[in-house]
Amino acid sequence: MNTLALGPQWLDPDYLIATFGLIGVLVIVFAESGLLIGFFLPGDALLFTTGLLVTTNKLDQPLALVCFLIVLAAVIGDQVGYLFGRKVGPSLFKRPDSRLFKQENVEKAHDFFEKYGPKSLILARFVPIVRTFTPIIAGVSRMNYRSFITFNVVGGVLWGAGVTLLGALLGNVAFVHKNIELILIAIVLVSVVPIAIEFLRARGKAKKDGSAPGAPDTGRGGAPAESSRRGRHAKR
């Protein structure tokens, strides 16, 4: 099966699986689920291709075993990310940008976590970049560990097994084989749709806020917020 490399050859799912096999898939899933350096890895396309190769007997492993190991790698990856977040705490938000680390990725995951709460651990599985940083942010926020484990497992099963099974289900469809390049590109595009929507929404909000410059920041009763705060401090 020949696929179109989505970027460098070493990020092409078909190349990765052919070179490193199932072990390579598990390492990538683990890294993308909770290690800071794993945000650029092709998780969705990789899982889909893995399922497709299993059902066409080009990856000689039982599908049930493959799904179980992928889910396990995803859950353990999030677990490591959570523990890392608890350890580094707020210092993560002060870390300077580098070639492999961008502060905006942390802030994006933080906003995602704040917006969706614990269920963000499930939703973020299907959003590239965000899925890498969300468990770390959960650790920074000291999310209840029992709740984290529950949503971590559910998200790992839905994403890890779900996308792999989708690839296996479509593996015998002739159209998929003839258009695998387009299928993989479509998966990547669909996975970044949530990010694009959030970007456009934030951009629209910024324009809306900027359309009314000089508007005072008011507290309750229409009084400027700063004055309100001063009044409260004066009463103490």
In this prediction, residue 76 carries a pLDDT of 96
CA proximity to 49, closest of 87, 84, 5, 96: 5
> How far apart are the C-alpha atoms of 105 and 100, rounded to whole Å?
11
DSSP assignment of 83-140, as one string? HHHHHHGGGGGGPPP-SS--HHHHHHHHHHHHHHGGGHHHHGGGSTTHHHHHHHHHHH
Could you read off the pLDDT of 167-209 as tens digits, one per residue? 898 877 877 767 776 776 776 676 666 666 766 776 777 777 7
Identify the three-state secondary structure at position 224: strand
Helix (H) or strand (E) holding 169: helix 162-169
Q: Are 35 and 77 in contact (CB under 8 A)?
A: yes
Is the overall model pTM greater than 0.95, yes or no? no
